[in-house]
Amino acid sequence: MMRKRIVQRQVDEQMAGFSSDCHPVLKRVWGGRNIRREDDLDHRLARLPHPELLGGMVPMVSRLSVALRRNERILIVADFDADGATGCVVAKRGLEMLGATNVLFTVPDRFKFGYGLTPEIVEVAGRHNPNIILTVDNGISSIEGVRCARDQGIEVLITDHHLPGSELPEADFIVNPNLPNDPFPSKCLAGVGVVFYVLSALRKHLRESGWFDERGIPEPNLASLLDFVALGTVADVVELDHTNRILVHQGLLRIRKGLGHPGIRALLEVAGRPVGNLTASDLGFSIAPRLNAAGRLEDMAIGIECLLCDEFQQAMSIAGKLDTLNRERRDIESRMKEQALALLDLDQFDDPSQIAAGICLYEESWHQGVVGIVASRIKERLNRPVIAFASAGDGWMKGSARSIDGIHIRDLLSDLATRHPHLLSKFGGHAMAAGLSLKMEDFSEFSKLFSIMVAARSKGLDGEPVIYTDGGLEVSEMTLDFAELLQRVAPWGHGFPEPVFQGDFEVLESRVLKNQHVKFSLCLPGKDQVFDGIAFFVECPEAWLELDRIRLAYRLDVNEFRNVRRVQLMIEHMQVLKSPA
């Protein structure tokens, strides 16, 4: 396990807006996340920013309203990840709930067309004779594709959340909170969140224009789509600011109450996750990988088909296929990770600082759909930005990048492309993740330049990875009730991390599970209360046996076995402590 510094978060002491009966540990947790008043934890839908604050919203919904009245054909072009899939489902279901009767969708084949509204996918889209292409979770970098669509007389409406480049596509209308000077207060919406906002604004426009009365149809409850919004938001690992916490919280509530759509309930069933105690992490670690497996290995249309099911048994049949694909994905990932570690040959380095600041990896047999996961695994191990590449045929390679705090990977690639325009063909993404295309012959040069540019940006950053905690807990605070309270008070995720605590423990018993996990029986020094602790996917797990004392950074978790719920410590990091002399 890579050595990390365990550091307690700095706590904002300005907590005047909290009631006196707020749990003292919760006050500490909120203070460490810059939450100053209870209003910041109000997750009612009424607290969402108004849709018309999004730039371009008014003309876009006006055009969609005309499309509904004319029964024009709207073709949704979605991305091939979980955000794009859920966004596609929200767009299709939402438009149909609002009265549209001519809505189709297509998803680019990752292996044939790549990401976004490319000219090739426009050619495929044109076979459906659409009046409008509505992009979901893509389009902001599709300069050529938008031009191709408009040359064919197809209007293009872009909904996206990715960072724009120096040039915007000549689309008819664009809604993207990350456009320059856009007034929307949240810059963290996922693609599914953006299209949900478009539907909300469209419903208001249709209501005010008398559409529902004219048609004799009830005004739909778009909140019924929030289970999809929650899934896509968590899956895309966007920051859980207040807006996103509201969307995720409301979606989780619907699922817990049994109001989730059949497709999501089926994915939960095959993952073995109980509905009643569902958390945001269940969406991110149990449901999203099964949905993403379709886009990684075959066709995301399979995942979208599952989410669109109205019958649970039909959804279960497709969810079973997705579960099988996910098992296959895990096998491929494991094999590729071993190959990546062999390429790195870490044993040759006496000092971790000798490892390149930015790492590029390529192996001829690697799967395009899995390189992003491998990049993430190596990044987590080495605390360095990593790009893993796979062959794309015809002398090209596609890479998936993952970064660390302090290195904005999309901006770095933009700077690299500006300085060395002959190298990068296509790229795009976020601060922490990006995708790119590269000629095989340029891999060596690109790798060297990438590491140099990462090193230049790393100056001033602490090279040793840090795990931040919310301090220690007393035995009286390590209870099932408090663990369940932590699960209920907020959706946790990127930018709003689940509480992690620290402490030194005596080891009463330890054993290895499945050759890769370590299970402990633990107690605080001088205390009788015994806690179960588990560390997953430990390198050299046998090295953690027969210890007397151990320092942990852990989450307070709830383990349910045979209908019995017990508190357990989910170990995030551990360090050996010497026994006192």
Structure tokens at 485: 């309270």
Correct CATH for 466-577 of 2.40.50.460, 3.30.530.20, 3.90.226.10, 2.40.128.20: 2.40.50.460
Structure tokens at 312: 């649970």
Structure tokens at 95: 């438009």
* CA angle (334 as vertex; 333, 336 as ends), nearest 5: 65
Structure tokens at 425: 């063909």
**Element of type H or E holding 505:** strand 501-513
Look up residue 230 and give its amino acid.
A
Let me know if the fold of 46-223 is the same as that of 466-577: no
pLDDT at 537: 86
Angstrom CA distances, 22 to 28, 508, 556, 567, stand at 10, 34, 18, 21
Look up residue 117 and give its amino acid.
L
Cβ neighbours of residue 102 under 8 Å, at least 6 residues apart? 71, 72, 73, 74
Structure tokens at 158: 């872009």
Q: Taking the CB of residue 499, how many other CB atoms lie within 10 A of it?
A: 22
CATH of domain 46-223: 3.90.1640.30
Residues 557 and 540: beta-carbon distance below 8 Å:
no
> How far apart (Å, rounded) are the C-alpha atoms in residues 466 and 485?
26
pLDDT at 484: 92
Residue 20 CA, chain-centre distance (Å), reads 35
Residue ranges in the chain whose pLDDT is less than 70: 1-2, 12-20, 114, 350-352, 460-463, 579-581
> How far apart (Å, rounded) are the C-alpha atoms in residues 91 and 132?
13
Q: Which residues pair with 516 in a beta bridge?
A: none
Residues 463 and 369: beta-carbon distance below 8 Å:
no
Structure tokens at 574: 């551990």
pLDDT at 580: 62
Long-range contacts of 200-204 (CB under 8 A, 24+ apart): 200/51, 201/51, 201/52, 201/54, 201/57, 201/58, 201/60, 201/61, 202/61, 202/64, 202/65, 202/98, 203/98, 204/51, 204/61
pLDDT at 11: 82
pLDDT at 245: 97
Third-level CATH fold of 345-458: Diaminopimelate Epimerase; Chain A, domain 1 (3.10.310)
pLDDT at 24: 87
Cβ neighbours of residue 142 under 8 Å, at least 6 residues apart? 116, 117, 118, 135, 158, 169
| SS3 per-residue string spanning 332-360 | HHHHHHHHHHHHHCHHHCCCHHHCCCCEE
pLDDT at 151: 94
pLDDT at 539: 81
> How far apart (Å, rounded) are the C-alpha atoms in residues 67 and 133?
11
pLDDT at 115: 74
> How far apart (Å, rounded) are the C-alpha atoms in residues 170 and 219?
33
> How far apart (Å, rounded) are the C-alpha atoms in residues 59 and 318?
38
Closest Cα to residue 305, out of 326, 321, 289? 321
Look up residue 389 and give its amino acid.
F
For 126-184, the pLDDT digits (tens) are: 899 999 999 999 999 899 999 999 999 999 999 999 988 888 999 999 999 999 999 99
Q: Where are the domains of the chain?
A: 46-223, 345-458, 466-577
Of the CA atoms within 13 Å of residue 145, those in its CB half-sphere come to 27
| SS3 per-residue string spanning 392-432 | EECCEEEEEEECCCCCCHHHHHHHHHHHCCCCEEEEEECCC
Q: Write the DSSP string, 441-502.
A: GGHHHHHHHHHHHHHHHHTTS-SS-EEEE-----GGG-SHHHHHHHHHH---BTTBPPP-EE
> How far apart (Å, rounded) are the C-alpha atoms in residues 189 and 364?
36
* CA angle (25 as vertex; 23, 29 as ends), nearest 5: 115
Residues 133 and 155: beta-carbon distance below 8 Å:
yes
For 42-96, the pLDDT digits (tens) are: 999 999 999 999 999 999 999 999 999 999 999 999 988 999 999 999 999 999 9
Structure tokens at 74: 């709207």
Structure tokens at 12: 């904002």
Instruction: Map tokens 């932590």 to a residue.
Output: 486
Residue 287 DSSP one-character state:
I
Cβ neighbours of residue 151 under 8 Å, at least 6 residues apart? none
pLDDT at 355: 84
How would you class 488 by CB atoms within 10 Å of its CB: exposed for 0-12, middle for 13-18, buried for 19 or more? Answer: exposed
Q: Which residues pair with 133 in a beta bridge?
A: 75, 156
Residue 507 CA, chain-centre distance (Å), reads 35
Rg (alpha carbons) of the chain, rounded to whole number: 25
DSSP β-ladder status, 564-577 and 549-561: antiparallel
DSSP β-ladder status, 132-136 and 359-362: unpaired
Residues 324 and 331: beta-carbon distance below 8 Å:
no
For 230-289, the pLDDT digits (tens) are: 999 999 989 999 999 999 999 999 999 999 999 999 999 999 998 888 999 999 999 999
Report the chain's terminal Cα–Cα distance, integer Å.
26
Residues 575 and 521: beta-carbon distance below 8 Å:
no
Cβ neighbours of residue 364 under 8 Å, at least 6 residues apart? 391
